[in-house]
């Protein structure tokens, strides 16, 4: 089955920012587009706004003047819902209220033909619940575009409980024909992206709430060590704290207050205080004129150790051994199996974050997971009050000798990047086990929807079969609330043989 024929009129109901974006996508793809809004005159204003954006595309040589003129000729501001009668697809982008959406689609069923595909762009409501008010829910599907719709490639195609396969396929192929990258998923709270992305925000906020590090340091570690484009604090300031918190609460409630999705009290207080981020001038950071930029904690220069003793291969951090040698620091090999760590001249140990705390051991400094230790420009170290200052200084000097800025944080089990990635990997495995989406679509969704440097399964393959499970299991022992309890799916993955699952780690 293919998508809609270009001769088929498409309707978008709701002329706000998202509705305008979806209308522009369909318009540029070659469809006749009817844009409707319940507020008189708003559809006409939105059509003019789309025309202005198309003009800018022409100025930037991304669209020819002829194509712009042809597109504008296909755009109609529909003042009445009855003007949508001959449309073969209607996409809704109105207020995120179940009753409002249900009423709209009940009215649409009385207007459009039986072969018209009905779609909602909801990001937080159940597609199944919206369709529950319809006489023919089989033709109803979720088409979740990401804002701004003309620029972001991802579209989540969501099948509700009653959605017919032919309807989902038709919607999927239409999104692809419009130049988007569709992913198929079941109707689950948060769909793919908003479900699996929760730990990115939650773990950063948790480290802050326990006074492990301040926002600027956490953001810098996520960017410069983890490879994320933005840190959690600056990203939620950009999104809007009220918007991000609303999505978090929606997913948490939909999962019957599952502790894995518990909202942040610190973020709630931020919203209550009116500090909503960039749009209000204050959020986690101060955006008012003349405000000083918050800088991450960066350790003072320290002397690099003359040598390190390598016990084991350091697992996901094994490339550090080559970097240490290249920096002119001797690496002595200890062939006995003592684990996976570096021993410093002071006798202290340096180990990759594993979900344990420094205070449990005599003299251990942990370092965080990096996307690429060679390219990383910052490394976080974690130590307790009992850690020898000499050991911490040697660990700091070692990474500085590799050309890295060093941020020393509190004794945080799993640190920042490691616990975040482990939880994202866990939720991804859990989603596949519950039939939400395929591994491939989840990886695509997280890379394109929130610009992650790797998809969860790409990261899982790189880190090894048991890495995420072992880290979360250790975290769960130290915080038995259930927040870090590994899913059954991750447990099975960790203990499955390579022969049984092939190379899909």
Residue 91: beta bridge partners? 12, 119
Give the residue among 101, 22, 2 at the shortest CA–CA distance from 11. 22
- Catalytic choice (167, 194, 407, 487): 194
Residue 79 designated active-site = no
Question: Which residue has tokens 């991450």?
Answer: 296
Question: Residue 310: in which H helix or E strand, if any?
Answer: strand 307-311
- Active-site residue 292, yes or no? no
For this structure, is 123 an active site residue? Answer: yes
Per the CB < 8 A criterion, the answer to whether 27 and 71 are in contact is yes
> Any idea what the Cα angle at residue 130 is, between residues 128 and 136, rounded to 5°?
80
Catalytic residue, chosen from 31, 92, 123, 460, is: 123
**Which candidate, 238, 325, 236, places its Cα nearest to that of 279?**
238
Which contiguous run of DSSP H or E holds residue 406?
strand 405-409
First to last CA, the chain: 33
Closest CA to 479 of 267, 210, 283: 210
Q: Which one is catalytic: 36, 144, 208, 493? A: 144
Contacts with 51 (C-beta within 8 Å, 6 or more apart), sequence order: 72, 75
- On the CB side of 290, CA atoms within 13 Å amount to 0
**Rounded distance, CA 493 to CA 456, Å?**
13
- Partners of 117 in the β-ladder: 89
The Cβ of residue 483 has, within 10 Å, a number of other Cβ atoms equal to 19
Catalytic site includes residue 194:
yes
Annotated catalytic residue: which of 36, 124, 156, 245?
156
Tokens standing for 427? 């939720």
Kindly list the catalytic residues: 123, 144, 156, 194
């Amino acid at each position: 089955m293919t998508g809609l024929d270009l001769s088929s009129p498409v309707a978008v109901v709701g002329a706000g920012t998202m509705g305008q974006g979806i209308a522009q996508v369909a318009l540029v793809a070659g469809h006749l587009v009817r844009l409707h809004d319940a507020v008189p005159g708003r559809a006409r204003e939105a059509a003019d706004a789309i025309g202005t954006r198309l003009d800018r595309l022409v100025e930037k040589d991304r669209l020819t003047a002829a194509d712009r003129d042809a597109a504008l000729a296909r755009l109609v501001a529909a003042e009445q819902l009855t003007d949508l009668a001959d449309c073969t697809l209607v996409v809704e982008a109105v207020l995120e209220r179940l009753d409002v959406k249900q009423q709209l689609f009940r009215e649409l069923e009385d207007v459009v033909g039986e072969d018209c595909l009905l779609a909602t762009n909801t990001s937080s409501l159940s597609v199944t619940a919206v369709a529950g008010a319809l006489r023919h829910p089989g033709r109803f599907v979720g088409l979740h575009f990401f804002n701004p719709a003309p620029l972001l490639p991802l579209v989540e195609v969501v099948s509700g409980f009653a959605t017919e396969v032919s309807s989902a396929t038709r919607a999927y192929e239409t999104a692809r024909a419009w130049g988007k990258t569709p992913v198929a998923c079941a109707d689950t709270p948060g769909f793919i992206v908003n479900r699996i992305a929760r730990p990115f925000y939650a773990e950063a906020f948790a480290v802050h709430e326990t006074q492990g590090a301040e926002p600027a340091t956490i953001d810098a570690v996520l960017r410069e060590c983890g490879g994320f484009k933005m840190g959690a604090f600056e990203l939620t300031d950009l999104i809007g704290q009220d918007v991000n918190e609303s999505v978090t609460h929606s997913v948490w409630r939909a999962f019957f207050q599952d502790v894995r999705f518990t909202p942040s009290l610190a973020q709630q207080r931020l919203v209550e205080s009116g500090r909503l981020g960039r749009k209000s001038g204050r959020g986690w950071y101060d955006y008012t004129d003349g405000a000083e930029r918050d800088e991450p904690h960066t350790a003072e220069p320290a002397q690099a150790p003359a040598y390190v003793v390598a016990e084991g291969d350091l697992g996901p951090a094994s490339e550090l051994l080559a970097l240490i040698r290249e920096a002119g620091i001797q690496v002595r090999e200890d062939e006995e199996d003592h684990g996976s760590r570096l021993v410093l001249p002071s006798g202290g140990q340096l180990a990759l974050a594993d979900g344990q705390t420094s205070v449990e051991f005599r003299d251990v400094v942990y370092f965080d997971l990096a996307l690429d230790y060679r390219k990383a420009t910052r490394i976080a170290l974690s130590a307790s009050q009992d850690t020898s200052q000499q050991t911490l200084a040697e660990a700091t000097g070692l990474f500085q000798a590799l050309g890295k800025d060093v941020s020393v944080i509190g004794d945080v089990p799993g640190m920042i990047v490691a616990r975040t990635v482990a939880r994202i990997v866990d939720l991804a495995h859990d989603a596949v086990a519950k039939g939400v989406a395929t591994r491939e679509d989840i990886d695509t969704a997280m890379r394109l929807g929130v610009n992650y440097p790797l998809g969860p399964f790409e990261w899982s393959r790189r880190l090894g079969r048991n890495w995420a499970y072992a880290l979360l299991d250790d975290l769960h022992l130290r915080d038995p609330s259930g927040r870090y309890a590994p899913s059954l799916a991750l447990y099975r993955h960790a203990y499955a043989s390579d022969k049984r699952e092939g190379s899909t780690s």
